[in-house]
Structure 1
């Protein structure tokens, strides 16, 4: 029986979450996708669901899912793709739709080509021969790291002389975190500049617990770094992003932010904390995380294709 293909809607979020958790169980051994994360993706302001999302069904069963969004307003387009191992033809249908729409989107932006990125587990449920035949290749590797927490050992660190750390309590603090993010991440692979309004959506500001966002700096130089954490993942506490301005690196600010986050999660009763890192990060972040006891949970590759 042929697969039925249609766009996703917000009411499909529970079924999509179930599919992604089935993929999680195969790829990493346990479910780690939360419903609110899927809902946030489907509500992304730069996604038109009727044109930028696809569901493939085998009868009544959802077996594959694709989503496309554009943060560059140019040639760069991002896509997500999930498929169950025994339904590769459904995955191919969605791959074809993703590629066609990516090129269309880039041309709508005035670009002559589309540079498309897709993140896949290094041992994915998708048969990678299907994308290699279409000209995709790996351009980057990321590690998802995790660390156990101990409420008796992971205590709030003392601040060194001249160092100050504060929670993100006011609207002006949020704007400051956005500015620090834009500056500290500007040199990172695949960075896309984001306006304050766009960034607020990216961090899901309406439901984000801003007490888990901190700004660090020095009395002499002012604000120099930030950390955004989330406590709404069932699997573990999560550090969404951490950044320190280039001129302030090497002074221990990143490590201080990490230890502060560890203590906050431990005090909430969490037993594990995680984050993601580019293995080729030019700031030395992987070594920093290793020194603070974080180890690889699983690895993700960024695949790229250029369409014209």
Structure 2
């Protein structure tokens, strides 16, 4: 089934492709394959340089999106122009029940009217494909979750035209790391009653199942009061994080409370980290994908202790930075904590949402 420019989603047994009639003459829409990764990376870098000032997406990330594992949860449309050059790319990602991540990237080198036409076609496709995913999950409504750099007025205009609303602002923060951070005198003072340890590994080198369950359960409970939290099953959580090319099991930490009120350590917080590749010959960094603290344990230095663990680990590995994302309107005081620990905002992004009726 093909579709033109009608934005109204309808349930269908299979999601459609972008119709040739919705595209400039000579353009084609295809489902990208692994062989297209180089073209897609170049497209992403052109977009990032104009919208943000630097290109950060890695080849490993694109390869992961197009891998067999990545294609289990993602659907793609690649648009090539009359010369077969990759000009636009849309992806929808089945992130969790009721939430679909949407990415639409359009070549900044296109003249404005052509770019608007292409963006409209891809956002229309994304709505149909998102509705189809929601239909498969048995939902009446699903959330389309997309985003833009704060300085990218073009992307923001397209999102608004496609029915999205700006819902949140995020600070992308980074803290420099030096060898001195690994020295005892360079670390924050340990907090009484808080012990941080890595996720334990079993004899086969894989993480102990009980610790992975602990990480998942703590994050689900800790994020209940956070913006746009959607429940994610244990299998969805672990499978998704293992797809990340920066994933490393030895970058997962659990913070436990140890005091006289309980004879055994009690999980209080967790941090899931990853490797953040450096550009060119630059050193790698570490990235905090998740840091969650149970409400009952907040105010006891758990988050600060976990941050110290990842900073020390990064310094010991010879990395030059630790990065993270934080909700600019977080009710937990996270922004103040990160600022006090030396993190500074590198750039700003936005979340844009659309609640999409799926039908039945």
Q: Decide: shared fold, TM above 0.5.
A: yes
**8 Å CA contact 2:164, 2:354 repeated in 1:** yes
Supply the distance in 2 between the matched residues of 1:196 and 1:307 (Cα, whole angstroms): 26
Q: Which residue of 2 aligns with 1:134?
A: 162
CA positional deviation for 1:210: 1.7
TM-score normalised by structure 1 residue count:
0.89
Classify 1:46/1:187 alpha carbon distance in 2 versus 1 (closer, same or farther; 3 Å).
farther
**8 Å CA contact 1:82, 1:126 repeated in 2:** no
Q: Deviations over 1:43-75 (max 9, x none)?
A: 4868558x821111122221211111223434x
Q: Which residue of 2 aligns with 1:84?
A: 107
Q: Which residue of 2 aligns with 1:71?
A: 95
Q: 2:39 aligns with which of 6, 12, 15?
A: 15
Q: Which residue of 2 aligns with 1:96?
A: 124
**8 Å CA contact 1:169, 1:210 repeated in 2:** no
Is 1:124 the counterpart of 2:152? The answer is yes
CA positional deviation for 1:36: 2.0
Q: Deviations over 1:205-244 (max 9, x none)?
A: 7963222211111113511111111124225321111111
CA positional deviation for 1:41: 3.0
TM-score normalised by structure 2 residue count:
0.77
Question: Root-mean-square deviation (CA), in Å?
Answer: 2.4
Unaligned runs of 5+ in 1: none
CA positional deviation for 1:140: 0.9
Is 1:272 the counterpart of 2:321? The answer is yes
Supply the distance in 2 between the matched residues of 1:32 and 1:68 (Cα, whole angstroms): 20
Q: Which residue of 1 aligns with 2:273?
A: 229
Q: Which residue of 2 aligns with 1:164?
A: 195
**8 Å CA contact 2:48, 2:56 repeated in 1:** yes
Please say which of residues 294-303 and 63-72 is displaced more in the overlay.
63-72
Q: Deviations over 1:146-167 (max 9, x none)?
A: 1111211454545344321111
**8 Å CA contact 1:47, 1:69 repeated in 2:** no
Higher Cα radius of gyration: 2
Q: 1:252 aligns with which of 294, 301, 305?
A: 301
Unaligned runs of 5+ in 2: 1-24, 202-207, 260-264, 280-284
Q: Matched residue pairs, number?
A: 306
Supply the distance in 2 between the matched residues of 1:79 and 1:280 (Cα, whole angstroms): 23
